[in-house]
């Protein structure tokens, strides 16, 4: 999610959509007709996301109070399983060298089992 009022996310053609796919995720807005679509809350609830990704930061990002409002939607899988992923906006909002760090962070959050270290006895 990029913005909460209006509710805006990333879609096809955006570099963040590409990062989501590279990290092994599936975007609920992948079928949108534009790179940064506005969605209704009904659309989001109907698509029942497993994870909600929030950009966070001091200058840009979704404030904590807005992120907490999502908790009222208790039937949404992401809320039920507390799967809110916070990505520093400086790693994700603009294409550049730092997106690699953001991509790795997102992949670890989406698929922690793929990054689990085996312990040697």
**pTM of this structure:** 0.85
pLDDT for the residue numbered 16 = 92
Q: Give the pLDDT confidence score for residue 88 in this predicted structure.
A: 92
pLDDT of residue 118: 57
CA distance 65 to 54: 12
Domains of the chain: 3-106 (3.40.50.1980)
DSSP 113: G
Closest of 47, 59, 58 to residue 9, by C-alpha: 47
Run means of pLDDT, 10 residues per run, the chain, 121 residues: 80 93 94 93 93 87 88 95 93 89 94 78 61
| Separation of alpha carbons 117 and 19, rounded Å | 24
Of 84, 80, 64, 61, the C-alpha closest to 72 is 80
Distance of CA 78 to the CA centre of its chain: 11
Q: Give CA–CA dist 41/101, Å, rounded.
A: 30
């Amino acid at each position: 999610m990029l913005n909460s009022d209006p509710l805006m996310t990333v879609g096809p053609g955006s570099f963040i959509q590409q990062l989501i796919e590279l990290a092994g995720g599936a975007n609920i807005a992948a079928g949108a007709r534009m790179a940064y679509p506005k969605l209704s809350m009904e659309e989001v609830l109907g698509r029942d996301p497993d994870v909600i990704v929030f950009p966070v930061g001091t200058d840009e990002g979704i404030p904590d109070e807005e992120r907490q409002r999502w908790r009222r939607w208790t039937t949404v899988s992401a809320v039920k399983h507390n799967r809110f992923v916070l990505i520093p906006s400086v790693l994700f909002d603009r294409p550049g060298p730092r997106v690699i760090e953001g991509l790795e962070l997102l992949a670890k959050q989406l698929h922690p089992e793929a990054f689990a270290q085996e312990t040697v006895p």
